[in-house]
Amino acid sequence: MRDRNFLPKVVLASLLLVTPHLHAATWEYKSTDDPMTDEPIYEAVILSDNQVDVSFNRKATLSVITRFHPRNGWNIEFTIDNDQISCLGSCSVTIRLDNEKATNHSIEKVFNVKGYVYRVRNNAEKVAEGMFRAKKILVELEIFEQGAQLFRFETNTFDYGLFPHKPGEKEKR
């Protein structure tokens, strides 16, 4: 005998799979010590609320990594599953914070111990400051064989108690 509730269950399960997140993305914080200075390196990471198509039947989430290093200053890096950002050497990313005008930033492909990351080349401190205060972040990147793709971040309030170094703040030496 057939289960009369089978079809509604399948439809509900399908809707759950394609419905985007309805909650705010959460910043995750980490700090380690720089062995050369014994000063902390602060890192905050946030994952996009949505996934985009990167190839046949595959989707990817974008991570934004914001880091303050006592010797190297500010870094903003982007990573995506399976290194699908279409960038050879230097390219650009478009970022929109809340209802402000979208801005373009030059990024470069850099290899680190976790694989490739795409680092903002200029004004990383200013970008970090904007991201920390924004409630909504939009990031557009060129994805290999997919073209420009938009990643959304509905963010919660950034917690300076967990990331005490504020952009624009002068160094305490």
pLDDT tens readout for residues 95-126? 999 999 999 999 888 887 777 788 898 888 89
Helix (H) or strand (E) holding 95: strand 90-97
pTM over 0.85? The answer is no
Which has more confidence, 11 or 24? 24
pLDDT at position 14 is 36
- The percent of the chain in helix, strand and coil, each rounded to the nearest 5, is 15, 45, 40
CB distance 35 to 63 below 8 Å = no
Tokens describing residue 4: 């009369």
Q: Amino acid identity, residue 34?
A: D
CA torsion, ordered 95, 54, 57, 23, to nearest 10 deg: -20
Which helix (H) or strand (E) segment holds residue 16: the answer is helix 6-18
- Asked if residue 16 has pLDDT above 60, the reply is no
Please check whether residue 40 is in contact with residue 56, taking contact to mean a CB–CB distance below 8 angstroms.
no
Residue 59 has pLDDT above 60, yes or no: yes
Which residues face 150 on adjacent strands?
140
pLDDT(23) > 60: no
136: left (phi over 0), alpha (psi -120 to 50) or beta: beta
* Beta-sheet strands, E only, within 6-72: 28-33, 40-47, 52-55, 58-60, 62-69
Q: What is the pLDDT of residue 8?
A: 42
Position 39 scores a pLDDT of 93
b/e for 148-165, b at 16 or more Cβ within 10 A?
ebebbbbbeebeeeebeb
- pLDDT averaged over the chain? 79
Which tens digit of pLDDT belongs to each residue from 136-170? 999 998 888 788 889 999 887 788 888 877 787 65
Burial class for 14, CB neighbours closer than 10 Å (0-12, 13-18, 19+)? exposed
Mean per-residue pLDDT, 13-26: 48
% residues pLDDT > 90 (the chain) = 32
The predicted pLDDT at position 91 comes to 85
| Predicted confidence (pLDDT) at residue 46 exceeds the cutoff of 60 | yes
Q: Is the pLDDT of residue 15 over 50?
A: no
